[in-house]
Structure 1
Amino acid sequence: MELRIFTEPQQGASYDDLLRLARCAEDAGYGAFFRSDHYLKMGSVSGEPGPTDAWTTLAGLARETSRIRLGTLMTAATFRLPGPLAITVAQVDAMSGGRVEFGVGTGWYEEEHLAYGIPFPPLAERFDRLEEQLEVITGLWRTPAGRTFDFAGKYYTLTGSPALPKPAQHPGPPVLLGGMGPKRTPRLAARYADEFNLPFVGVDESARQFQRVRAACAAIGRDPAELHWSNALVLCAGRTEDEIRRRADAIGRDIDELRENGLAGTPAEIVDAIGRYAAVGSQRIYLQVLDLADLDHVELVAAEVMPQL
C-alpha cells in the first residue's frame, strides 16, 4: 500500500503553501503529491488568496522537488483544449524528469465555470468530450517521432499535428480516471486508464465500482491487473483524542463523520481502516490534507502509519 498526499488549494492556499507541503511530503517518503484542479472555493471558507492553476503549480513543483511524483485529481476536461493540454502535461513531465501523472475527468462544479466564463455543457456531452480528449491526448503522446497525428471527432479536429513535444515517460504519463458512474466510467477506465481512483467513498462502494471496472476490462480483453486501484480519503490523524479533535475543528469537520467516511483517529485506527480498503483491492491511498499549514500532521502519518503498511 502506497500513501500519497492530495491537496485542495482552491480552499485557500498560495503556491508557497503548496511548495512547503510538497517538500515536506517528499522528505517524509510519500509516493506522490497531488492537487485538485478547481478555480473556485467550496463551502464557507474564504478561498483567499484565490485559485492557483493546477498545471502552472505542477510546473513550479517539477523544478523545486526532485523525487516525489506529481499529478492532478482530476484535471477538468472542460477547462482546456486537448491539444494544448497534451503539450502542457508533456512539458511538465519533461521538467520533472518523468514524474508526472495525469488525472482527468469530466468537470462537475458548475459554479466555478460560471465564475470564470468557462462553458459547462450537460453531463452526456461532458463525457463525450472527455472521451475525445483521452483519444487525442494519448494519441498525440503515442505518435512515433517523425509522424503526424490526425483526429476527426464531434468536438475536436486535429489535422497534421506534429504531436510534439513528447513526454519524458514513454508512451506518456500514467492516466488516472475515476468516479462512481456505473457504465461510461468503467468503459473509459478499461480503455484508457493506468489507474482507477475512487474519491471519498466507503469500502463497500469501492468494492462494487472496482468490480464494474474489472468487468469492463474483461469485456475488451484487458487484464485488470494492468491497472492500479486507489482511493482518496480525508485525513484527520492524531496521537490522542484531543489532537484528533483539534485537527477536525481546524478543517470544520465532525470526528464521528470522519471516522465513518474518511481516515480519522489514532495511527492504529488509520492502519486498520486502510487495511479494509486494501482487502477490496485498493493499492494506493490519497490522503486529502485540508490544513496545509499543519506539516506535523503529514509527518505523523509518515512516522507512525506508513511503516505498518
Structure 2
Amino acid sequence: MRIGIQIPSFTYPGDQSQIAPTFAQVARDADQAGIASLWVMDHFFQIRGVGAPEEPMLEGYTALAYAAALTERITLGTMVTGAVYRHPGVLVKTVTTLDVLSGGRAWFGVGAAWNADESAGLGIPFPPVAERFERLEETLRIAHQMFAGDESPIVGRHYQLERPLNSPPPVSRPHPRILVGGGGEKKTLRLVARYADGCNLFDTPELPHKLEVLREHCAREGRAYGDIEKTALTILTPESTADQLEDTVGRLGEAGVDHVIFSCRQPYEPSTVPLLAGLVAKAA
C-alpha cells in the first residue's frame, strides 16, 4: 500500500508571505518521511467544499515544479487537471518538463473538468459535458503519442497538431504515469481502462462497485486490471488519530485500493506528516 498527501488549500497561518515557506516545509517533510506522492489541485479559484473562491490558490504545475526542486523521491501530480484548461500540446509539454526536472517523478493527472465558475471567471472555454469528454479522450491520445516521441501530425475533431514535437522527452519510462480522475461508469472508467496507468476515486461506499465497473471495462478493452494503480482520495483532519487512519487504509486496501491519498487542508499542523509517516512505516 502506498500513502500519498494532497494539499487542497494554501490558506496558512500568517500572511501571504508564509505560503511559500509553509508549502516548502510540507513538501520536504513528506519527502523525507517516505510518503509516496504529493498532489495539488489544478484549480485557479478555491473550490466549494474547501473554501471561498477568494482564498489563496496556487497554479498547480508551478507549485509542483517548486516542490520538485525541494524534494528527491516523492512523486508529484495534479489531482486532477481539467483537460479544457490548456491546449493538450502545451499540457503534455508542461507535464514532460515536470518529469524531466524532477528526474522522472511526474504523474499526469487529468479529467474532464467541472468548475464552470472559474472557467467563466478567467475566460477559459467550457464546452458542454459531452464535448469535454471528447476533448479529454483526444488529450489522452495526444499525450500517448507525444510521450512516445511520435511527431506525426495529429488531426482530431477538436485539436490539430502539425508537428507534436516533445523535446526533451520524458525521463519516466514508458512515459509519466497517466491518472484519470473520476468515477463516471460509462465514460471516465472506460477511459481509464483504455488509456491510463491509474485511476482516482473518492472514498465513498460506492468505491468497491466502481472498481468492479473498472474491471469490466478492462475486460472489454483487453487490458489487465492489475496494471492499473487504484488510488482513493480520503480526508485527514487535525482530529484524525493514527488508529483511524490505519483503519481507513485497511478498509480501502480490502476494497482493492493500491494507493491511499489523504487530502489535508491544514498540512502545516505538526501532527499531519508524522501521522502519514506512521502509516508508511506500517505499510512497508
Taking structure 1 as the reference length, the TM-score comes to: 0.84
The answer to whether residue 107 in structure 2 is matched with residue 107 in structure 1 is no
Once the two structures are TM-superposed, the CA of residue 308 in structure 1 deviates from its matched residue by 2.9
Question: What is the aligned partner in structure 2 of residue 166 from structure 1?
Answer: 169
Q: Deviations over 1:100-149 (max 9, x none)?
A: 111101111111112211111111111000000110111111135xxx22
Corresponding residue for residue 146 of structure 2:
140
Q: 1:109 to 1:49 in 2, by over 3 A?
A: closer
Partner of 1:17: 22
Correspondence 1:268 to 2:273: no
Q: Secondary structure at the match of 1:186?
A: helix
Quickly say closer, same or farther: Cα 1:185–1:48, change in 2 above 3 A: closer
Deviations 1:80-104 (A, max 9, x none): 0011111111111100011111110
Q: 2:270 aligns with which of 295, 299, 302?
A: 295
Quick one: structure 1 residues 129 and 10, their matched pair in 2 at CA, closer, same or farther if it must change by over 3 Å?
farther
State percent identity of aligned pairs: 33
- Aligned mates of 2:173, 2:51 — CA distance in 1: 41
Q: Which moved more, 1:58-67 or 1:128-137?
A: 58-67
Superposition map of 1:1-309 within 5 A: 1-9=1-9, 14-43=19-48, 45=51, 50-143=56-149, 148-199=151-202, 201-202=203-204, 204-236=205-237, 244=239, 265-303=240-278, 305-309=279-283
Report the Cα distance in structure 2 between the residues aligned to 1:235 and 1:197, rounded to whole angstroms.
17
* 1:80 aligned partner, one-letter code: R
- Contact 1:25–1:298 (Cα < 8 Å) also in 2: yes
Larger RCO (CA under 8 A, 6+ residues apart): 2
**Equivalent pair of 2:11/2:55 in contact (CA under 8 Å):** no
The count of residues paired between Structure 1 and Structure 2 equals: 277
Contact 1:149/1:163, CA 8 A, preserved across alignment: no
Structure 1 unmatched runs, 5+: 238-243, 245-264
Q: Cα distance 1:132–1:15, how it changes in 2: closer, same or farther (>3 A)?
A: farther
Alpha-carbon deviation of 1:31?
0.7
Change in 2 beyond 3 A, CA 1:49/1:207: closer
**1:211-269, Cα deviation, whole Å (9 max, x unpaired):** 111111110211111111110001126xxxxxx2xxxxxxxxxxxxxxxxxxxx42122
CA spacing shift, 1:47–1:161, aligned 2, 3 Å = closer
Provide the C-alpha distance between the structure 2 equivalents of 1:135 and 1:61, rounded to a whole number of angstroms: 28
Classify 1:10/1:291 alpha carbon distance in 2 versus 1 (closer, same or farther; 3 Å): closer
Q: Is contact 2:46-2:55 (8 Å) kept?
A: no
Partner of 1:250: none
Shift of 1:179: 1.3
What is the rounded CA distance, in whole Å, between the counterparts of 1:41 and 1:71 in structure 2? Answer: 18
Amino acid at match of 2:127: P
Shift of 1:33: 0.9
Look up the SS of the partner of 2:58 in the other structure.
Answer: coil
Task: State the AA in 2 paired with 1:88.
Answer: T
- Structure number with greater Rg is 1
Distance of aligned partners of 1:306 and 1:72 in 2 relative to their CA distance in 1, 3 Å threshold: same
TM-score w.r.t. length of structure 2: 0.91
**Which amino acid in 1 is paired with 2:257?**
S
Q: Which amino acid aligns with 1:7?
A: I
Distance in 2 between residues matched to 1:307 and 1:186, nearest whole Å: 32
